[in-house]
Amino acid sequence: MMDLSGINQIQARIAEIEGQFSLPTQTMPGMEFAERLQQEIGKHSVSAAHKAHAVQRAEATSAAQHAAASTTANYANPELARTIHAAAAKYAVDPKLVSAVAEVESGGDQSAVSPAGAVGVMQLMPDTAAGLGANPYNMESNIDGGTKYLREMLDTFDGDVKKAVAAYNAGPNAVKAYGGVPPYAETQDYVNRVLDIYR
């Protein structure tokens, strides 16, 4: 905060001189400056503190909401969890891997539809779903089809989870052509996100 003691001392000295010489008290230019400045500083510091507190409160609320959404969003849905576990058991795939793919694909949201037309929790393209005998618009069938496809990718790449996940995103031919995760930014990001959740 600004030190105003010098101004106060000058004002006191002026008042003393006026008293000594019996001068009429005058309003000197700047006499009220210190007081007004102090009032303005007080107003702004209260306002700044209030704003900072409001921003911190909003950030904390947003972080809490985001954390709650990401951890409980759809896995608080017991039907989704049961369906994933049932499909994982049926095709002998780790349910954590199926859950990780579902999370990255759609956030576990059956109503999700990508700009490319992929549908549901496991984001099945209608042609792929048809080849798997799945109805992509039905959650149970969508998860069953996606898990079956994941099993096929694991079998194709000798159980290599990283390659299987890359193939789920980019297709098995791309993974074979590059001998691993294709150098596509989207696929590399996808694989990293799925494996981060899976681990």
Phi, psi of 119 (to 5 degrees): -125, 140
> Are 152 and 167 in contact, with CB atoms under 8 Å apart?
no
Name residue 185's amino acid: A
Nearest to 108 by CA among 146, 135, 134: 146
- Cα–Cα distances (Å) from 13 to 5, 16, 30, 91, 184, in that order, read 12, 5, 14, 93, 78
- Express the helix, strand and coil content of the chain in percent, nearest 5 each: 70, 0, 30
Q: Which residues pair with 124 in a beta bridge?
A: 119
Name residue 15's amino acid: A
Q: How many whole angstroms separate alpha carbon 74 and alpha carbon 126? A: 23
Tell me whether residue 105 is one of the annotated catalytic residues. yes
- Cα–Cα distances (Å) from 170 to 23, 134, 196, in that order, read 92, 20, 18
The active-site residue, picked from 32, 105, 140, 152, is 105
Active site residues: 105
